[in-house]
Structure 1
């Protein structure tokens, strides 16, 4: 499960990298830039959620021991 979480985080980072390339800084809220911003925000949410999951699994393992 740990490797799956790290893979999901890595994919989110890749999506952020691809989406940054699609940004048009002159018109951030129009066309493809808007969709790229949505993907970046969603990917950041995934990274935060997966990090919380990793920390909670670590805490759970320490309490069981």
Structure 2
């Protein structure tokens, strides 16, 4: 499970970096830049959700040990 979440986090970070390349800094709220912002926000949310999931699994393992 840890390898799977690591792969997903890596893919989400790669999507963030890809969407940064699509940004037009002269017109940040027009055309493809809006789509890039939405993609970056979605990828950032995915990273946060995966990190929360990983922490919850660690907590679950520690509570099952005791």
- Give me the TM-score of the superposition, normalised by structure 1: 0.97
Shift in Å at residue 2 of structure 1? 1.0
Shift in Å at residue 26 of structure 1? 1.3
Q: Deviations over 1:5-61 (max 9, x none)?
A: 110000001101111001001111111000000000000000000000000000000
- Give me the TM-score of the superposition, normalised by structure 2: 0.95
Stretches of structure 2 lacking an aligned partner (at least 5 in a row): none
**Superposed CA RMSD:** 0.5
> Runs of 4 or more off by more than 3 Å in structure 1?
none
**1:11 matched residue in structure 2:** 11
Stretches of structure 1 lacking an aligned partner (at least 5 in a row): none
